[in-house]
Amino acid sequence: MKHEPVDFFTRYFVVLFRDRIQSRMDSSDPVRKLLYLVLGLIFLNGFLFVFSVKDIWQVPKADRYEKPSLLFGLNTEGKYEPIAEFYRFSRVVITDEDLPGGWEENKVIRCFVSTEDNNFRSHKGLDLRGIFRATMVNLLAGRVKEGASTITQQVARLKFLNTERSFLRKAREAWLALLLELVFDKKTLIGIYLNEIPLGHGTIGVGAAAKFYFRKDIKDLSWGEAALLASLTTRPKEFSPLVNPNTSASKVRVVFKKLVENGILDVETAEREFEAFSEYYITLNRSPNDSAFSDRLNRFPYFTEYVRKNLARYIPSQQIYEGGLKIYTTLNIQHQAQAEKALAAGLKQQTQLSNQRAFTKIDSFEDSYGSTYKLLAELHDLPEFKFKISRSYRTFNRAWQEEFRDDLSVLNLISGTEGLGEAIDWNYRTQATEDHLLPVEGALISIRPDTGYITAMVGGSGFRSDNQQIRAFQAYRQPGSAFKPLVYASAMEYYHEHPDDKKNVTAASLFDDSPLQYVLEDGDEWNPSNYSGEYSGFIRLREALELSRNSVAVRLLEHTGLNNLLPRLEKLLQVENRNLPRDFSIALGSFEVSPYELARSYAVFASGGKQVFPLSVLYVEDEQGNLIKDFRKEFESKERKRLLSPETSYVITSMMEDVIKKGTGTGARSYGLTRPAAGKTGTTNNFRDAWFAGYTPELVAVVWVGYDTGTLSLGRGMSGAVVAAPIWGRFMANALVKEKSKSFDFGDAKIVRRTICSISGKLPGSHCYQTEEEVFDKDTVPKEVCDDHRGMSEPDPTPTHTTDPGTTKKKKPNLFEGDEDVIR
């Protein structure tokens, strides 16, 4: 037969194979021909099932590991430091330096090799004798009692396969093991194995397991500790010392027996090491549900969770958890730490003051109405009435917390049992509330007005499995009087854009502070009233904001026109897919906003009227330092539109400075805040929500405090001035303590200062005896001279005396005066 000329690859992979098949098929014996054909097809099918082209590229990458991504924040030195990790399982990658002694001396290697594959150094990926032995044992037992996977096969399974029990998976495992032996030496293979083996409680690899179980580095482990890790390879949950300490001790004993059988330890040394390790079980005091995930670096969990959720929109979740990314955020560690301290202390104190008790008669409700609820649930498709914990556990918890814990704590102090004392202290620390009090929740967020960087964000009283709502973004509540500066600024800006003397509004404008009454379309009456129930007659706008007069805010809205103000308010709020209510209640903060939205609106004031785009992540790098996502470019490309004039921002800031100096916001100074600051309190109907929104030249911050159940009251008198302002002041004072104080600067704002009559707000006439300086946009300076006091004598400045001539009678200032009472 004449052969066609072929190249090298064609000859050996096509033509040669074809000729071999042809030679077999030319046999004169049809039975042999059929047998060759069947065997050839079986081999070909088996090879196609086992072999995959991608194995050629995958196997050489077996020594690469999933690595956690790191989240970075800015410290006080202006440098980035890690604040959190993202990973699915805890892993600490070990290297040769972490395994001193090598094959002959390293305890961890010798324990794992003795237990899992004593012939590891001699075989080529498959242990045929071990396979035969395991087959016989399993046949005699009638079940799978013993496995025959070598360490190399286990590496193949851990890196490329699942745990399915099937012939095909075992065949693939054997094939990949052979490839691994061709690519890597034994030292590398044992390193891969030790880094990939799952050892329970969310740990992957011996490095993470050593940290979790013993709080040690791998090189510092004793024989007993190394034996425990080796005992966890088959069923880590069952043999966990936290879950089943007795079973774990028995399994560790088996590992020591293996060490003795293989000549690694003599009997005396093994017994001594095992006895020494037994102390571990005696002193072990950890929950069976403890997880390595709780050891994850996560200093500021609310901020971390917010970043994770937002980052998942741009980067695949798998890459976030496994790609070893470096995520650089806008968080300022000093700001965040002080935000958490200030809010936590304020919420704890307010929980006790508000004294709203949680419902504890659950068992009685279940006994009395459980069957009725089932009927109602079927009729109305209600969720099932069930609990995450049993009745006996609820009963024990209540009895323990209210009756037994304090007594046991005293007895423990007398007896001096260290382990029990630590357990009781831990229970006190982790208790969410005291005496079944319903926890008051809150939120705090701070933003740099010049850059939009979110420097701190706290979403509640504590990030736990049952309290992960990020309220800074997700709690939509009525802001009350904290909304008034937006209304005032919109009215001033309307005149700035549409000059009309009838619509002119300045800080000196006079408004009537008196009762109001409106008849609504449905016939109901609406009577917006002041918090104190008192009215001052005609009052200047600056003083009305200081004292938070509701009637004046409504009259201002009526004066300028609702339709004229709503477009500007919508721009300031920058809300999408939500419409502001078209009624006068908007002046009193009836439109629900989140703390984030209110902070973004106040940032417009602090930035001199420019739009602010808050930012939480700057850029993301991969493991090699390559930039994979730069949020700064998108941020810098956005046009910061002017939403307010610098003049309006200046005047509103000046008015809110007085709110803190002598109005409802004086509580913001209670923690030593001395730098220039402007802000406004807010309280909603029946004291359900307490707000403080404000800013310094460096930072904007908003605090909200209230119950998650929006109908519950914080308690009579618990206004924004009392509850939220001190938290805001404490945060601002401590967060900015290392930053140099500076004055408000609104650039080219055309502001003029004029002396006015303190009573009428006009230019002072010859008979005006009370005057003060006021700031104006140059186009809004009053022109009318006050003539209201002609013929009036100046009041006697001599103070009125009480029965004690040495005592001056003064009206006691009401700290809560003027904070709002929103009627929805």
Instruction: Order the strands of the 80-86 sheet from edge to edge.
Output: 80-86, 69-74, 326-332, 617-621, 627-630
Single out the catalytic residue among 69, 90, 114, 116: 116
Q: Which helix (H) or strand (E) holds 424?
A: helix 418-430
Q: Which residues pair with 323 in a beta bridge?
A: 67
Tokens 């899992």, residue located: 116
At a CB cut-off of 8 Å and minimum separation 6, what does 171 contact?
46, 49, 50
Active site residue 525: no
Q: Which residues pair with 538 in a beta bridge?
A: 512
> Taking Cα atoms as reference points, which of 347, 362, 652 lies closest to residue 489?
652
> Taking Cα atoms as reference points, which of 481, 478, 480, 479 lies closest to residue 545?
481
Q: Within 313-417, where are the H helices?
A: 317-322, 333-354, 362-380, 391-399, 405-415
Distances (CA, A) of 760 to 197, 210, 609, 802: 81, 77, 29, 31
Active site residue 271: no
Residue 384 CA from chain centroid, whole number:
30
Structure tokens at 529: 């009233």
N-terminal to C-terminal alpha carbon distance within the chain: 100
State whether residue 551 is helix, strand or coil.
helix
Structure tokens at 760: 């009428």
Residue 176 CA from chain centroid, whole number:
42
CA distance 455 to 439: 26
Structure tokens at 499: 């000059």
CA distance 405 to 559: 63
Single out the catalytic residue among 446, 481, 509, 548: 481
> Taking Cα atoms as reference points, which of 492, 503, 514 lies closest to residue 776?
492
State whether residue 32 is helix, strand or coil.
helix
Residues acting as catalytic residues: 116, 481
